[in-house]
Homo-oligomer: A and B are copies of this chain.
Amino acid sequence: MTGEDEVEVFLNSVFVRVKSWLKEADGSEVHLDETPSDIRRQVRLSLPLEGEGLEGALEGIDDFLLHSVRTHHSNFMNPLWGGFSASAFAGEVISAVAQSSMYTFQLAPIATLVEQEIISRMSEIIGFSDGNGVLTTGGSNGNMLGLLCARHSHYPIGMKTGVDGRNLVMYVSAESHYSALMAANVIGIGHDNVVKVSTDEDGRMNCNRLEEEIEITLTEGKTPLCIIATSGTTVRGAFDPIAEIAEIANRNGIWLHVDAAWGGACLFSNTHAELMRGVELADSICWDAHKMMGVPLICSAFIIKNPRILRQTCNHTRAAHYLFHSNTEDLDLGHMSLQCGRRIDALKLWLAWKEKGDAGWAKLVDGYVELAEYLEKLVVDEPSLELMSTRMWANVCFRYNPSSSERNSEIDLNLLNSKLRDELSATKQFLISRSNIAEDVILRPVIANPGVSLEVLDKLVSEIVRIGDELIAAD
């Protein structure tokens, strides 16, 4: 075989594997529940000194697929993403074969326009009339960038002189994502300056407490820098009241960033957009298309009301004479990014959006929330299950709690539910998340997978009850 033929044969073999992986999904187990040593025993992980050619690569692919989690399986409801989108997958394939880097228009001409089209549309949906932004490396990174823009806006000279971060304070809900701590550490304000504002009974930031915390900061002689409101918390799917928070932020001159990594897609839905009422009053927002919108990881938008601040924050790009030339300055998206080399993450979203349209996104969102409502109802109707939080979005938080029976009153429910989740995983039939609400261990399936159906949810609930009952019986 010539080299070219060999490549073609290899690629054909790869494509065959892609198609059979997709076909086998629901006929197979969600995962194999293996330990590292299980895998090590079966797979030659080590890297060879002498190459094994494309044959070796193909063997690697077979090993990889065999031992991977079927995240496209309908019973995969663990993280805030899952399932398969053909158009978005095709976008990844094309982005890989026609790869480029998003720094300059010259090297990524249509990709630049595609990304700007998406950003400008998302900006419009948010309600930022002159907004702009960039795709980042994920929600954590987008939150960090929001905080960085807040810092730059507050203290622009700090870019030159450095910043004393010890007196800068940020506010998040007590149920916010851990990336707030990451961002605080990275930009140098420290974990102690992350004020976790307590939440109401449904997990939403308490605005009275927020005002009190700001007062405390001021009394301490510190500077309130940034509020991060969460639209769709990780565990409960709670939406902080943006309009009220924005009023407080505005009154106190504090930057408002919205972490809508998980919840942003509600804006497509006439029914659910209300959850983010007031988002147009924020200063910046991050919104992951790789979560509810089902685009492969990573596809995360950072959008800012005043793009000048983002460009200033990325002012370091002025030094890169080897990359940017002044005649294309406005076109080169590298001027709005903390990355230099950057993948084309826009194409997959553009293709999925072409396939679905705004109407398709709305339908997807409404459908997911309806399924979550159905699951909520199953939980409420099942005596041995206890709903642990009001359902507001596609997260359903509950636990197994057979408390009606006398004997069961002494059960350690946290231990029981942890065990239950392990046992459920061990069946290899379902993957859902285990988490905490306050001191309680809960189970938290989410609906973010187009394969999930009423039947899947029926089966999930009966499986959980079966395992719970067995654990109780065995006790």
**Set B19, B190, B234: member contacting A159, Cβ < 8 A:** B190
**Set B11, B317, B319: member contacting A86, Cβ < 8 A:** B11
CB proximity of A434 to chain B, nearest CB, Å: 7
**Set B52, B89, B109, B178: member contacting A68, Cβ < 8 A:** B109
- Whether A187 pairs with B187 at a CB distance below 8 angstroms is yes
- Whether A177 pairs with B338 at a CB distance below 8 angstroms is no
- Whether A96 pairs with B296 at a CB distance below 8 angstroms is yes
Q: A164-B166, A314-B182, A355-B57 are in contact. Are A47 and B188 (CB under 8 A)?
A: no
**What B residues does A117 contact at CB under 8 A?**
45-47
- Whether A81 pairs with B160 at a CB distance below 8 angstroms is no
Most-contacted residue by chain B among A43, A100, A317 (CB, 10 A):
A100
- Whether B92 pairs with A190 at a CB distance below 8 angstroms is no
Is A263 close to B, CB under 8 A? no
Is A383 close to B, CB under 8 A? no
**Set B8, B101, B190: member contacting A162, Cβ < 8 A:** B190
Which of A34-42, A369-377, A458-466 interfaces with chain B? A34-42
Q: What is the chain B residue whose CB lies nearest that of A151? A: B188
- Whether B360 pairs with A51 at a CB distance below 8 angstroms is yes
Is A111 close to B, CB under 8 A? yes
**What B residues does A163 contact at CB under 8 A?**
165-166, 188, 190
- Whether A98 pairs with B339 at a CB distance below 8 angstroms is no
Q: A54-B87, A164-B165, A357-B48 are in contact. Are A188 and B187 (CB under 8 A)?
A: yes
Chain A positions 158-213 with a Cβ under 8 Å from a chain B Cβ: 158-168, 177-179, 181-182, 184-193
- Whether A60 pairs with B354 at a CB distance below 8 angstroms is yes
Contacts A36-B105, A68-B111, A179-B316 supplied; 18 other A-B pairs, CB < 8 Å: A7-B86, A11-B19, A11-B89, A31-B106, A39-B109, A43-B110, A48-B354, A49-B359, A52-B354, A57-B91, A60-B351, A61-B91, A68-B100, A70-B98, A92-B96, A106-B425, A139-B341, A165-B165
Q: A139-B340, A298-B341 are in contact. Are A353 and B8 (CB under 8 A)?
A: no
**What B residues does A177 contact at CB under 8 A?**
320, 340
Is A56 close to B, CB under 8 A? yes
Q: What is the chain B residue whose CB lies nearest that of A435? A: B322
CA distance A90 to B16 in the complex (A): 12
**Set B36, B51, B79, B159: member contacting A101, Cβ < 8 A:** B79
- Whether B342 pairs with A162 at a CB distance below 8 angstroms is no
- Whether B114 pairs with A45 at a CB distance below 8 angstroms is yes
CA distance A109 to B100 in the complex (A): 29
**What B residues does A121 contact at CB under 8 A?**
47
**Leading 5 A-B pairs by shortest Cβ distance:** A162-B190, A188-B188, A181-B316, A51-B357, A92-B96
CB proximity of A435 to chain B, nearest CB, Å: 4
CA distance A84 to B118 in the complex (A): 28
- Whether A316 pairs with B162 at a CB distance below 8 angstroms is no
- Whether B113 pairs with A40 at a CB distance below 8 angstroms is yes
- Whether B338 pairs with A182 at a CB distance below 8 angstroms is yes
